[in-house]
Structure 1
Amino acid sequence: MTEQFSGVAPATQRLYRRQLRRITHRSRSVLVGFVLVLLTLVVLWLGVETVLWLLGAPALLVAPGALVAAVVDGTSSADPVVTGGAVAAVVVGVVLVALSLGGARRARHGLSAERIAVVVDDRVLASAAARAARVASGVDSGQVTATVGRRSVQLRIRPSSGFRIDEGAVVSAVEDELTATGTERLRVSVHVDQNGKVGA
């Protein structure tokens, strides 16, 4: 982020950056909690199966010996319970990996400030960018849409029939608007529709 917090102590700067990170990114505590509960259940199940095996009682699902044999010898095809458990473990593993690698960023951006930490919703930035683009291109508000991503702003402009849009001027106006608001550096791109709005 571009915020410098030059007017505060270094310890406060670290605190601000940590708080901004928490606000602009989703917490993974729910995912971690789910994994811990799942692991606890698996360990409890293995413990119960081991106790039953030591007492000579029938297993609830799979005896530890059969489970070890299935893993070591690859005999899981003979036991549908072991096969189903292996498939479920693979599916759960793939889902957890996908969730851990998935985007954790929320639709928010940090703003530059000297003494305070400021966060703004991406919809507010999109509205400001669309307004600046509308003024620079001379079109109505309904002819401009803006989308704010992690590091970029995409603008789509539907020009009025017979009028040409200066994309360079629009990009410059939007960049100036974002700079004025103190937004971290975002790349601005403009797409002008081929079909203009008739009667605008």
Structure 2
Amino acid sequence: MTAIISEETRLRDDIVAVGKSLFDRLFTFGSTGNISARLSSGELLMTPTNASLGSLDPARLSKFSAEGVHIGGDKPTKEAFLHQCMYCERKGAGAVVHLHSTHAVAVSIIDGLDQEDLLPPLTAYYAMRVGRLPLVAYYPPGDETLANAVAEKARDAHAVLLANHGPVVAGASLREAQYATEELEETAKLFLMLRGERIRPLTAEQRDALKGR
């Protein structure tokens, strides 16, 4: 008889797999970064505090009620509010990935960029998976007033970049959030490599033509 794997068990395993993949490929390091995903019940599973994404235990993930109350698992990350405010503003979100990825953080520190759209559309996949990337002003780690600033930007963008901190990206599924976060990091890397060069990003017309793909 084939065993029936529950939605929650499958999602726990998926979070662990995505976390290890991101960690092993140096998209995050140490105990930085956190991942959450939403069950069909509205409950959230989230990586706990002081946990490395490279060695997560599916049984120890933090669990929240649909109302945002911690109801199981290890103590949640102090950045849980970042995830919860993204879900509040992005009603179709099924997952949120927050990393301290090196190149995206570097972009967040550069002065003089357009704070409403930090990166040019260098590739079609960036335009499709990320779109617009606004900057959220700096707040100390764990400062819950950051939630209001993130929520304001998230109304019109599913990816935001926290100044001197890192990206927060929502997606319809865990894989979509992962892929968008990776595309953001790779585009940030390209952007930094090309600084000082004359670039040819996608035109506004080319970018608009990709919407909905």
With the length of structure 2 as denominator, give the TM-score of the two structures: 0.22
Structure number with greater Rg is: 1
